[in-house]
Structure 1
Amino acid sequence: MVHIPDDADFNSFREQCENHEGWHCQYNKGGVTVWSEEQDSSKAVKKLKMCITCKDVPAEILYDVLHDTSYRKKWDSNMIETYDIGRLTVNADVGYYSWKCPSPLKNRDFVTLRSWLPLGNDYMIINYSVKYPKHPPRKDFVRAVSLQTGYLIKANGSSSCSLYYLTQVDPRGSLPKWVVNKVSQFVAPKAMKKIYKAGIKYPEWKRKHDPDYKPWVYPEQNTLPTVNLADLSIQRADELENIDESGVSEEHISDEEDGLSKDS
């Protein structure tokens, strides 16, 4: 049953971000820490979380950065396309996101229900995958499943913050072990640093790009069509096609670094 996250969901997410008991530190360098959840089953979809301290970036600025889909094209070089599909409430919507995987792995995409909550000087944005008949899986992408993904932005005074990112995603396709390792050791820390840099540059960019338009802060600015909650259902991984990519070796991967394919 699809439901819009409530206070209990946000509190649970915050607890997972801040409590490191049962988590294994996989990476701690250059101001970025990455943990993976300790689990008995090797088949379970693992949770990954990371944290970066963003000096000289107020929490509310980073919150804007993570909401602003127009600005995302500037800093998220892995993104192919993102857009908001429709709104559910003043602090929940349905959206689409697709991202590049290095060739010959197939690119992935999501349809997610996203909800956000300002809490004093802190902010949370969380999502999970849903099925929406108007946006079925596409032949040119592997439809991945976010079981739970989100951000916690904790203010450290008025001009600094800590950003937590927690994700539990089933990418579908039997990805080889080295891909998972590369994500935690290289891709994830790099992504966190990109968000930090994006936060530093955002105020100047926003001054030139519709500076008063922030529908995530001012709901009356939201002109998205309304989505009926009854039209959504939980996206279960076992309902999707499973692509076996486990035989792809690291040598066969083309090293597609930043920004080769831009927004379509």
Structure 2
Amino acid sequence: MEKQEFLELFEVATKAAKSAARGDGKNSPAVSRCVDAMVRLRDAPEFLAFELVTDPKYPHIGKSHVLLMDHKNSRIQSEATLLYTLWIKYLYATGRKQSQHRDRVHNQQVVKNKIKEKLVEKEKKNKKCVEMKISTTTGDSNREKVREILHKSLSKVANEVVVVGMKERVASCDSLSVAASVESAMFERLGCFEGTQKAKYRSILFNMGDSRNPDLRRKVLLGEISGERLVTMKKEEMASYKIQMEVQKIKEKARDKEENRVKSMMMFQSDSMIMT
């Protein structure tokens, strides 16, 4: 059904309804024309009915329900009720579809905006890294080497964490700037790499890069252990949890051995005194 046919049928229905209202015949030709026109209008496509019923150019379509649904003729009244009920269903259904479409468009736009924001953020981060690399250059080959080693160790953390929340925290950290900060703290506290604290430098760098010690570099990257604190930590404190436990067991074993030795000596001395 085309738009023009729809409008013509509706006009036939309304004119016939008015004509039937002036007559007394329940089954007059006017009633039949009106009912037949409305029956055919029910076959109109949903999109066409929605368009014309809601189009402000045709306000009489929506307003004519008073004439048709409240008509004194029961046949016209019944058919009009069916027709307008069908159109109301179209209105709700099309409204939902349009709402869902708007939601889809909105969601797509939100996703696009998020992707755009991430790209912009990534670009800023890359730019910041380049600027930081330039601004944090020390001009000292030994210091640059230390920073490079620290950066390499800190970069491992992203592939070592498995918890989602932790991954997000790690992703937000700049391993390059953290490496520069830690090296600066080391240089300030320990002096140059080739100086008297070379062993301390080696100890820190070894523990930071140790494959069995992911906790240390993760804590340093996340700021849980600052560069200043790292420099003052003992070798045992920097060691992995497993090694710390092993060291603890060795100490406990040595302590037990010493206690047993002391007990043995005391017993020997006691026996000697009794014999004398």
TM-score range, shorter-chain basis? under 0.3
Greater helix percent: which structure? 2
TM-score normalised by length of structure 1: 0.21
User: What TM-score do the two structures reach when normalised by structure 2?
Assistant: 0.20
Larger relative strand fraction: 1
Which structure ranks higher in relative contact order (CA pairs < 8 Å, sequence separation ≥ 6)?
A: 1
